């Protein structure tokens, strides 16, 4: 008689998956430190790159931060030469948008490169079956993010 497979309980999988994802995220965030930026700064720069012209309040809402905290972060990024403020439509000075600078684009490329290299090196340690299982799990993991916002 064949052995019966019991599907894992979602809470049990979540209990095992959560610390692994947290450690992966933490390590990937550490990869940006040699570039002189923080994970939060990279997140904000990427958000502005994906929504050029967005305002500070909109950016704060997207990133789940208070508007005053986002204003401070934007000012630091502006002083570092990573963000530029642009006038609103028709030159409206009351509505200021944000755009990343070429230097920020360069840093974002380096961040992506460093993070990919770190992850690729770790994945390279897996045997072919383990790597195939990780690859096969990607669509299910991506589905966890659908409607997350």
In a domain, 99, yes or no: yes
Strand partners, 86: 97
Q: Residue 97 carries which DSSP code?
A: E
Place of tokens 């090196």: 121
Tens-digit pLDDT string for the chain (149 aa): 566 666 778 889 999 999 999 999 999 999 988 988 998 999 999 999 999 999 999 999 999 999 999 999 999 999 999 999 987 666 666 678 999 999 999 999 999 999 999 999 999 999 999 999 999 999 999 999 887 65
Give me the CATH number covering residue 76: 1.10.10.10
Distance separating the N- and C-terminal Cα atoms of the chain: 46
Residue 21 lies in a domain: no
Tell me whether residue 128 is in a domain: no
* 133 located within any domain: no
Instruction: Confirm whether pTM is higher than 0.85.
Output: no
- Are 35 and 24 in contact, with CB atoms under 8 Å apart? no
Q: Which domain holds residue 50?
A: 35-119
Total number of domains constituting the chain: 1
- Phi, psi (rounded to 5 degrees) for 87: -65, 150
Tell me, yes or no, whether 113 lies in a domain.
Answer: yes
Structure tokens at 83: 């963000």
Q: With b meaning 16 or more CB within 10 Å and e meaning fewer, what string describes 33-58?
A: eeeebebebbbbbbbbeeeeebbbeb
Place of tokens 């008689």: 1
């Amino acid at each position: 008689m064949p052995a019966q497979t019991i599907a894992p309980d979602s809470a049990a999988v979540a209990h095992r998956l959560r610390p692994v994802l947290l450690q992966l995220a933490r390590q990937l965030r550490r990869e940006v430190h040699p570039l002189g930026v923080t994970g939060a700064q990279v997140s904000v720069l990427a958000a502005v790159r994906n929504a050029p012209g967005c305002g500070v309040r909109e950016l704060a809402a997207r990133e789940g931060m208070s508007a005053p905290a986002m204003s401070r972060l934007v000012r630091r990024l502006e002083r570092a030469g990573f963000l530029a403020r642009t006038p609103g439509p028709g030159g409206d000075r009351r509505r200021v948008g944000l755009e990343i600078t070429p230097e920020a684009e360069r840093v974002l490329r380096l961040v992506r490169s460093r993070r990919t290299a770190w992850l690729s090196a770790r994945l390279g340690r897996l045997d072919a079956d383990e790597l195939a299982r990780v690859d096969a799990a990607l669509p299910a993991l991506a589905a966890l993010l659908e409607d997350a916002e």
